Amino acid sequence: MSRNLLDQETSPYLLLHKDNPVHWRPWGPDALAEAETSGKPILLSVGYTACHWCHVMNHESFADPQTAALMNELFVNIKVDREERPDIDQIYQAAANVLGHSGGWPLTMFLNAKGEPFFAAAYLPNEERFGQPAFKTVLTRCSEIYKDQPDAVTNTNARVQDAYNKLWNRDLSGVFDAVTFDSIAIHVGQRFDTFYGGLTGAPKFPTTGLVELLWRGYLRSSVPQFQQLVQTTLDYMSMSGIYDHVGGGYARYAMDETWFVPHFEKMLYDNALMIDILTLVWQSDRLALYRDRIEETVTWVLREMMVEHGFASSIDADSEGEEGKYYLWTEAEIDAALMGTYVQKFKDTYNVRREGNYQNGRNILHRIGPQSGYAIPEADAALLKRQRDLLLAARKQRTAPMRDDKVLADWNGMMIAALANAGAVFKKLEWTAAAIRAFEFVVKVLGDGDRLYHSWREGKRQHTGFVDDYAHMARAAIALWEATGDKNYLSYAQRWVHVLNEHFWDVQNGGYFYTADDSDPLIVRSRMVFDQAMPCANGTMVTVLGKLFHATADNAYRDRTNALIQAFAGEINRAYISMGSYLNGIEFILAGVQIVIVGPIANAKTHQLADAVLGRSLPNKVVMLVDPKETLPEGHPAFGKTMENGQPTAYLCQRNICSQPITNPVQLSQILLLPARVAQQQQMQAQQQAAMQPAGRA
């Protein structure tokens, strides 16, 4: 190959490198074949559009003719967008850890012609700096090792492959003990920062799965320490610098332990997760802060993240070559934008300083401080809202960071589910409508019969779907079914789960592989239960399968749920801190409550009953809106239940037993408000054996 081939791609990240003098190739059999025939090793570079250090390495090294010439001479060079090919990224991030590197992005890997790694690095400067070797030095050294030390390369390949087998192909099964739930919540709580929330230390990521785990602990036990940790985390995230107080939305993470200095990139999935957890906690405490952050974040999504009817992936951290420039303000810029308003009020509230509170006299807006409290008079809140709108208008005159506008099935699924749920809870029909349009768009552009593709941009879809795509789109379909009562959504979820069971299930060890059995093979087929930036599909699928069982009374879903839980239960005591979505799913299976509302969908009293349910924080609920003409499956606990005296009627069903009919929304709300009882906890534990029995023994 004698040229850069990335101009044929659609990924915005890959297109950023299309004019490099490096002879880049996309990942594929042609690139591997070239390495085989040329005898050259492979240089694999993995990054993504919103990654600051990816841009730095691009400008310093990949755009440098001298460095590019060395790369072209010594290597077959492959560029990968980690968002477009998470399967590749996952495999080589794990390899980097085995080779003594922490991973991250940009990821720089050196491989043999089969794709097996022998050296790992991340960002490397073009010249030696801060104790890091120059990129050109590493290039030369890795080429020499590959040519002159074949045995060492082979041994390293074998070591990585052995690590893969131990990580993804070993037996992780076990028996889950329901008694451990509260002890796990305590252990997680001990890892949280009591002053600022989140896991102790820096940098700090949202880790919403663990926040939900603590919230569930509070709802089970009424122990106030769990509630305090959750609210401290959400309060600081929502008041400090990681939140964009002008435009809405949360940054990917904070660089410090107080959530003050964000890494300014915004990711679709983070904001979907934040909408979800804030909604769940708001349903209990009705805090205005959480309601406002949800509304502002959804407004940002609908204003800045739409791609036709779907959602873009991310917004870059950099603009004009500088990280965060778009979001920072000098005092003079604030004064100019807010001229004619009560400027000092804004500066006091958002901690704007003449000398700046960040770098070079600039300010990160935040509301942590004695004059920044959220409980303020209505007139002050209205003034601040007007001033934020003025700043947003002023900010739009700046050079905006790049938006990565590819549409990913899994990330869209997460936002669709968040909007469907929040739209129902807050009675925002426009949010639910946006979720419906996005769902239909993903099905249209990424659907192929019952199969899904992963990525779409500018009319072109790429890469057969991964387990995350099916899991999160199935979850989105179920969320829309619960919100609307439309069983067509339930049908989509069933079809996608069928694909997962047919093409992704690990027959030997249980659980779902990351890739399908008919996808292009890589050097290993991964199978994970650990949450990373996103909830793990195997964790998400515990809840998806459980809800499908409740909806259909099909024992095949129950059996597959039990098999999935058992497949990874042996890891809980060792790695619970990374298993939030899986543990939350297990609690749903053990304590799930079906709330069946029988009544015409168009009847106002049907919606009054639904609103009573949505007014409570119930992470273990399944809401079923059932038309009186509809017949539930015979195995369903609400089979044969009808409206009471011709009125829409609710039934609470748990473990195949349903309550007496409830027609009064106030009564329903009061019943759902009852705190957890010790007897209920004991009952849950007593039922654990039946719920967790192996497939086929029900």
Look at residue 647 and give its three-state secondary structure.
Answer: strand
pLDDT tens figures, 325-348: 999 999 999 999 999 999 999 999
Give the pLDDT score at 675.
Answer: 52
Cβ atoms of residues 278 and 293 within 8 Å: yes
Measured between alpha carbons, how far is 529 from 527 in angstroms, rounded to an integer? Answer: 7
Residue 563, pLDDT above cutoff 60: yes
Q: What is the mean pLDDT of residues 499-516?
A: 98
- Pair 29, 152 in one domain: yes
Give the closest residue to 156 by CA, choosing from 109, 124, 123, 122. Answer: 109
Q: Domain ends where: 344, 375, 400?
A: 400
Note the pLDDT of residue 103: 86
Give CA–CA dist 326/304, Å, rounded: 14
pLDDT-derived band at 1 (thresholds 50, 70, 90) equals low
Structural domain including 188 reads: 180-318+404-590
Q: What is the pLDDT of residue 371?
A: 86
Task: Give the per-residue pLDDT at 217.
Answer: 96
Mean pLDDT (whole number) for 538-555: 97
At residue 604, the pLDDT reads 95
In DSSP terms, 76 is beta-bridged to: 42
Stretch (H or E) spanning 61: none
Find out whether 327 and 301 touch, Cβ atoms under 8 Å. Answer: no
Least confident of 103-107, 179-183, 445-449: 179-183
Task: Looking at the structure, tell me whether residues 78 and 36 fall in a common domain.
Answer: yes
Say whether both 677 and 564 belong to one domain.
Answer: no
pLDDT reading at 693 higher than 80: no
Return the exposure string of 490-525: e unless at least 16 CB atoms fall within 10 Å of the residue's CB, then b.
bebbbbbbebbeebbbeeeebbbbbbbeebeebbbb
* DSSP-assigned letter for residue 405: -
Helix axes 135-148, 150-164, angle to 10 degrees: 100
pLDDT over 90 (residue 225): yes
Percent of the chain topping pLDDT 70: 96
Q: What is the pTM assigned to this prediction?
A: 0.94
In the three-class reduction of DSSP (H, G, I as helix; E, B as strand; rest coil), residue 42 is classed as: strand
CATH number at residue 550: 1.50.10.10
Residue where a domain terminates, one of 575, 590, 605: 590
Domain count along the chain = 4
Find out whether 176 and 140 touch, Cβ atoms under 8 Å: no
Would you state the pLDDT for residue 42? 98
Mean pLDDT in residue range 289-308: 98
User: Does residue 425 share a domain with residue 439?
Assistant: yes
Higher local confidence (pLDDT), 551 or 177: 551
**And the tokens for 238?**
């929502």
Q: What is the pLDDT of residues 638-677, one digit of tens each?
A: 999 999 999 999 999 998 899 999 999 999 999 998 654 4
What tokens were used for 487? 């069983």
Mean per-residue pLDDT of the chain = 94
Same domain assignment for residues 337 and 436: no
Q: What does the pLDDT read at residue 2?
A: 78
**Residue 28 dihedral angles phi and psi, to the nearest 5°:** 170, 175
- Identify whether 485 is part of a domain: yes
